[in-house]
Amino acid sequence: MVQIKRSEMRQIDDAFAMGSGYVLNFSDRTMSEWFEDELRINIDDQRYKRRGTSKANRLRAFIEDEPAPLVARMLRGLWAHRQVIAYVPYGATPEDCKRQEANLFAIINRIESGAGTPAIDAVVAFTRDETLEELVQAIRRDAEADKPQAALDRLHTYSMKKFAHLLKQRGAPTNQEEPLHSRVGRYVKLVEAERELKPITKQIMKNCIGIFQSYNDVRNSHSFAHDNTVVEKEEARFIFETVVSMLRFVRSVETARFEGEGAQAASK
């Protein structure tokens, strides 16, 4: 739960034109659709109506009741939406808009700096698949609720799917019996053949094969996958963030590969 000062709530009100019960240019329907599409949240749920049923009151209740990472993500997304629709509050000057943005992001930074929950930016759906999207949302919910132990099992499943997908893209399919670290090892060899990596990057990626091998044991023996004694919270967070950091680098590798292929195609 986020501790929001009254002065900060006034600044959030200011940023999203909430003074008269509204939120930006949303109708009840479009606000519900935005929360469902962006956060998989039902903002019409009764628990968000404890302050009143207006759009602004439901948003305030959401901010006060939900975990810090989820609130920060919502605020960032809502500001991005304001920019997309080029919304300017009535009578606001360009200087007012800059002030609103600065105040809002100061609040977001404070919320995020005190959240202490795992980063999840690299855990995204990489292909159209309803099951995969549900898995990603489940990992996000666990992380944002500050439950890294619960997230470890699902993150392992995500990693299995991710590296199977990456190998398949390179014409090197996997089978269900192939363990995670074997998939990672084959992927690392293919990446090394595709591009020149700095020696330290090669070493880190090779070390990651061993990390994923140990991750198999954590998933099988120390997570909620089975009736296990789970790792302690801080250790689970460290494991989670280490795996996500590898996935983050992989995402950057794949982005560079895609951009390189696109540039080659454009030059033909």
Instruction: Provide the residue-wise pLDDT of the chain in tens; the chain has 268 residues.
Output: 677 888 999 999 999 999 889 999 999 999 999 999 999 899 999 999 998 999 999 999 999 988 888 899 999 999 999 999 999 988 889 999 999 999 999 998 888 776 555 667 788 888 888 899 999 999 988 887 778 888 888 999 999 999 999 999 999 989 989 999 999 999 999 999 988 888 888 888 888 899 999 998 888 887 776 666 777 888 888 889 889 888 888 888 787 665 444 434 434 4
Given this model, what pLDDT does residue 250 score? 86
**CB-count burial class (<10 Å; 0-12, 13-18, 19+) for 234:** exposed
Angle at 73 between CA 147 and CA 38, to 5 degrees: 100
Q: Is the Cβ–Cβ distance between 61 and 104 less than 8 Å?
A: no
Predicted local confidence at residue 226, as pLDDT? 66
Taking a C-beta distance cutoff of 8 angstroms, is the pair 72, 39 a contact? no
* pLDDT of 1: 65
DSSP 134: H
What pLDDT is attached to residue 268?
Answer: 43
Tokens of 120: 């999840």
pLDDT at 116: 53
Which residue is listed with tokens 């609103």? 100
Helix/strand/coil percent split, the chain, to 5:
70, 0, 30
Q: Contacts from 209-212 at CB under 8 Å and sequence distance 24+? A: 209/181, 209/184, 209/185, 210/181, 211/242, 211/243, 211/246, 212/159, 212/180, 212/181, 212/184, 212/243, 212/246
d(CA 105, CA 96): 14
